[in-house]
């Protein structure tokens, strides 16, 4: 998802307009001010000034305002507006109640038996050089934010599976696209007991790419019921066999 940036010059034009228009309109605004005030004090008969109160969206204390075990019915309602993928009915695109800056897409894994069991958020990096510097930087940035809340990561991963990529870091993006390198961090419950919530099995922050010139950083929250989710997903796929 490409972000649309408005330059300061365009923003100034939208707020102020050109100098001549602003100067000419100032006199008209003064003459109309008293009339506008009278209109505001005396609204037309039959016009209601009572605003309908907005219904607050329910949130939880977990990542992005969500939590382990939230039912599919609740996820599909106002809390997240979840929609199942056509290719996998157990993976849902969502709009979380508490989105985080810098993330473009959100997904959850859920089953009718277990409810929500995994959250995945995507931060796209649309300009990346061959060595993947911009993508690595975004992964590091997310990892630093996670460390502020959950403590130091269990492990950092930065390795290549093939010697050709170990000897040629300039091919990092090619290797990442081919799943031949790994770059990221993880937090696991066994090693981070003092800092991870009891319902979280692990947190993963990793670099990903499907093209050599751009990629995405992902953060994944895996809850304790994820293994049960996997079992129930397999059962549902075998129902008609």
Q: What average pLDDT does range 147-166 have in this prediction?
A: 94
Q: Given a cut of 50, is residue 136 above it in pLDDT? A: yes
Do β-strands 91-93 and 83-84 pair in parallel, antiparallel, or remain unpaired?
A: antiparallel
For the residues 65-84, what does the mean pLDDT come to?
96
pLDDT one-digit tens code per residue, 100-112: 999 999 999 999 9
Asked whether the predicted pLDDT for residue 11 surpasses 70, the reply is no
> Is the pLDDT reported for residue 8 higher than 60?
no
How far is residue 167's CA from residue 159's CA, in Å, rounded to a whole number? 11
Q: pLDDT, tens digit, for every residue of 181-240? A: 999 999 999 887 778 999 999 999 999 999 999 999 999 999 999 999 999 999 998 888
| Angstrom distance (rounded) from CA 50 to CA 40 | 14
DSSP code of 196? S
pLDDT at 66 over 60: yes
How much is the pLDDT for 15? 25
| Predicted TM-score (pTM) above 0.85 | no
11 to 5, 6, 23, 26, 144: CA distances (angstroms): 10, 6, 19, 20, 33
pLDDT for 54 equals: 59
The predicted model gives 175-186 an average pLDDT of 97
Q: How far apart are CA 75 and CA 72, in angstroms?
A: 5
Average pLDDT across the chain, whole number: 83
pLDDT at 18 over 90: no
User: For residue 58, what pLDDT band results from cuts at 50, 70 and 90?
Assistant: confident
Other beta carbons within 10 angstroms of residue 53's beta carbon come to: 6
Q: Which domains, from first to last, does the chain contain?
A: 63-237 (3.40.1000)
Evaluate if residue 90 carries a pLDDT over 60.
yes
């Amino acid at each position: 998802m490409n972000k649309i940036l408005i330059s300061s010059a365009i923003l100034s034009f939208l707020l102020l307009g050109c100098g001549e228009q602003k100067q000419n309109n100032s006199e008209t605004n003064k003459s109309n001010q008293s009339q506008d005030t009278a209109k505001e004090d005396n609204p037309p008969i039959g016009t209601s000034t009572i605003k309908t109160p907005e219904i607050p969206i329910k949130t939880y204390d977990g990542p992005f305002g969500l939590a382990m075990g939230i039912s599919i019915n609740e996820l599909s309602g106002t809390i997240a507006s979840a929609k199942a993928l056509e290719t996998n009915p157990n993976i849902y695109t969502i709009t979380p109640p508490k989105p985080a800056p810098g993330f473009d897409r959100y997904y959850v894994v859920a089953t009718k038996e277990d409810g929500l069991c995994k959250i995945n958020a995507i931060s796209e990096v649309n300009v990346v050089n061959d060595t993947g510097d911009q993508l690595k930087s975004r992964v590091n940035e997310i990892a630093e934010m996670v460390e502020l809340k959950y403590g130091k990561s269990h492990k950092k991963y930065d390795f290549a599976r093939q010697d050709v990529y170990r000897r040629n870091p300039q091919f990092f993006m090619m290797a990442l696209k081919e799943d031949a390198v790994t770059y990221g961090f993880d937090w696991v419950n066994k090693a981070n007991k003092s800092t991870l919530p009891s319902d979280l099995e692990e947190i993963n922050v990793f670099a990903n790419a499907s093209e050599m010139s751009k990629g995405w950083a992902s953060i994944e929250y895996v809850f304790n019921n994820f293994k049960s989710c996997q079992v129930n997903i397999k059962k549902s796929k075998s129902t008609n066999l």
